[in-house]
Structures are given as C-alpha cells and as structure tokens.
Structure 1
C-alpha cells in the first residue's frame, strides 16, 4: 500500500507542476509537431498496456498457483490425520498435526507477506516425522497406516517448500520499471508541445494520469500472492482444523494402554 500511496502522490504532484508551468509559460495550441507527438504518445500507450496486461496475467497465475499449493498442503495434512487416527499409539501425532496447522496460520502468514517463513513450523514438521518413524504400532493394518502417514509427511514437507517458494515470488522489477517509464511517457509527451492548458486538455491530462496510476497501482496491489488484493489466506488450514474435529468424532482419541 505504501508504493501505491507514493505513486498517487507523485502523479498528482507532477501533474500540478506541469499544468502550472504550462499555464505561465505555455503558448496557444498550435498544430506544428502535434502529429509526431501523438504518434509517440500512442506508441508509449501501446507499450504500457502490453506490459500492464502481461504483468496482470503473471500476477494472476502466481495467485492461482499459491492458492492451489496452500490447498494441497492442507489436504495432505488432513489425509495424514486420517491415516494416524485409527492408530492408538499415534494419539500424540494427532496433536502435533493440529499444532502444526495452527502455528502455520499464526506464524507463517504474517511473515509470508514479506516473503519469509517461520522456522518453528518447519521444526515441528521434522519432529512429527521423527515421532511417526518411532511408532511401533500393533497389527499389520496399523503398520500400513503408519507407512501412509510417512508418505503424507513427505508430501507435506514438499508442499511447505512450495509455499516457501510462493512466498518469495513477486513481480519482476523489469515489468515495474517498464510500466513506470512507458506510463510517464504517456503522461508527459503531450506536454512537450508546450500548449497552454485549457479545460479539454486538463480533462485529457486527468484521464491519462488516472489510467496510468490506476493501472500501475492495481498491479502493485496484486504483485505478491500473500499480500494486497486477492491475497491467499489461511482459509484452507482453518478448514482442515475443522476436519480434524470431524475425524475425531469417528475415531475418538485413545491411547495404546487402553
């Protein structure tokens, strides 16, 4: 949001300064050179719109990918909970899965807006793997479920790695630079004619500035999958926590000594 505020303030300031200068030193509108300036401005506008559209597609793809990765991680955790639920010896692991899900929401998500991840859930995932390996379930069926749980743990670790990569993604600076430069050309080229501002020209200036600012501001707001508009939230993890309760109703927690 800071970038967007700075962009709006800078655009308004540049526009006001340009209009004041042209009002004092500008001349009456003349036709000389306007054709070439119009061509250059239209060319800059085409480049700006092309970069804007491509950046929007990239940002949207990043959002969709991150949402799918978060959903997949939550589903893997749920499947692991299903695997360990029938095993009496795995009651502590059920608590670890719940704790990992809750800590991921509380610790990871605030940091992911900055492209970082908390190390605590990572350690919890490693502890969970060690606890699952140390299980000594009775019966072949429980042993099979243990292997399923270990398989799901590997998938969860991979899913967390994907979420870490997603948190570190963002729109490449080349697109931002290209949008700003082409947008400035769209705004400023008509002013090079030095024509004194009139009501129609001021309206045109306002439209040009508005289009550029809104376009760049929108891209900046969706440039990170875990921050800004449409940011991927922890809804999938919260839904998984509710599913844990439903699984507990079918397989009440019991211990091996029972």
Structure 2
C-alpha cells in the first residue's frame, strides 16, 4: 500500500492549494453563519479518525510482536535441531543443510516477504533436510533418541515456515485505511464548506489538520506490514542462530 501514502502526500499538497485559491477568489467574509454545526461535524469526524487511528496502531503493533515471536521460535527450533544432530557422527550433511536453510531464509526469503512472497528454495532444502535425517542410522538408544528429536524439530521448522509465510501475507485490513482516509477528509474539508475567505490563522489551522491526517495515515501504512517499513521484523534471530551453530561446532566438530 505504499502507493496510497504517495497519493496522500500529493493530495495533501494539491487539495489545500486548490481550496485556498477558490476561497480566496469566491469566499465571503466570516460572519459566523452555520459555524457551530460545521464545527460539531468536524470534531465528530476528528474523533472517529483518532479512534480508528489508535485501533489500527494497536493492531499493527500486535501483528509485529506476533511475527517477531514466530521468527524467534523458528530460529530456536533450528538451533535445537543443530544441537540434536551434532553428537551423531554421520550427521555432517544435516548440519550443512541446516546452515543452508538458515542462509537461504535470510538471503532469499526476507527480501521477498516485504512483497508477501517467499522463495521456494528454502522449502526444498527443508524437505532434503528431513530426508537426510531419516537416512541416518544411529547406533544405540541415545543416537536414536537424538534422531527422533531432530525429526520433531524438522516438523516444528516446517510449521514455523508456514506460519512465517502466513505472516508475510498479512497486513492491516483495507477497511481501517479507508475509514481513516474518509474521516480524515471530512476533518479537512468540512470547515471549507462555510466558504469563508481564508485568513492567515485559518490557513495555519487548515495546514495543521492536513498534516495530522496525512502523517497519521502514512504512519499506519508504513507499519501495517510486518516485513516492510521502519518497524519491519528482520532476520536477526536467524543470524543469531548462525552464531550458535559455530559455537556448537566448537563442542562437536563435524566429522567427514
């Protein structure tokens, strides 16, 4: 919805200029006629706008928090799986695939998730990882338990990836943006219906109203998607998992 923000900025400049020009030429002096009802309507529209704005901000914040929690859970499952296969001597290929999946998620998934898409390559790597774990033939009950734990972790990662894809496809419902735009336009335009010739104080008040509405709507649009904008969820948890892999390798060196 980035084009909506650009359109709002353009309209926030064009509409006041047109209104000021028309009212300067055809407006009448302020005699207070009908101002009370217009002020009431404008204040009511402002209340609706602020209510929708506050509710949308809460929804966006909760969405970002939920997405970040889901990403951290996936990274934690990857780390725990790496711990599970590390003591198994023949599991070096699985370690490589865990590292590959993590790197692909960072390099391929994250740039696409801003556009609600995901790369198919990490999903294929995840399937290969599951097959590699199934091919392991550990010796003893301890090794078999580690293999089973690794399989459980693969299932967790697969589910977490699905959830991350769902998070990438979510965003603020359009009804909130539409409601904010309509109520904001009423806040801006209702005082102009009095057709009063603009003065310096009224121009300042008009610019303040326009600024409040445009900044509020643009702010919500910028934070409405969990993987784009200034508050986007990044792959920090996955990068932390990569550092954990190195530490695990220090305790359980991979065997060819």
Q: Shorter chain as normaliser: what TM range?
A: over 0.9
CA distance in 1, matches of 2:104, 2:95: 14
SS in 1 for 2:226: coil
State the shift of 1:2 in Å: 3.9
**What's the counterpart of residue 15 of structure 2?**
14
CA distance in 2, matches of 1:130, 1:21: 72
CA distance in 1, matches of 2:120, 2:78: 18
Gaps of 5+ in 2: none
SS in 2 for 1:16: helix
Aligned length, in residue pairs: 255
State the shift of 1:106 in Å: 0.6
Q: Is 2:23 the partner of 1:31?
A: no
Report the RMSD for the aligned CA atoms in angstroms. 0.8
**What's the counterpart of residue 44 of structure 1?**
45
**What's the counterpart of residue 216 of structure 1?**
217
SS in 2 for 1:169: coil
CA distance in 2, matches of 1:55, 1:92: 46
**What's the counterpart of residue 235 of structure 1?**
236
State the shift of 1:173 in Å: 0.6
Deviations 1:129-178 (A, max 9, x none): 11101111122211110000001111101111110010000110101110
- TM-score with structure 2 length normalisation? 0.98
**What's the counterpart of residue 125 of structure 1?**
126
SS in 2 for 1:95: helix
Structure 1 runs of 4+ with >3 Å offset? none
**What's the counterpart of residue 182 of structure 1?**
183
CA distance in 2, matches of 1:248, 1:26: 77
Q: Is 2:13 the partner of 1:3?
A: no
SS in 2 for 1:238: helix
**What's the counterpart of residue 202 of structure 1?**
203
For 1:53-64, what aligned pairs fall within 5 Å after superposition?
A: 53-64=54-65
For 1:146-185, what aligned pairs fall within 5 Å after superposition?
A: 146-185=147-186
CA distance in 2, matches of 1:243, 1:143: 23
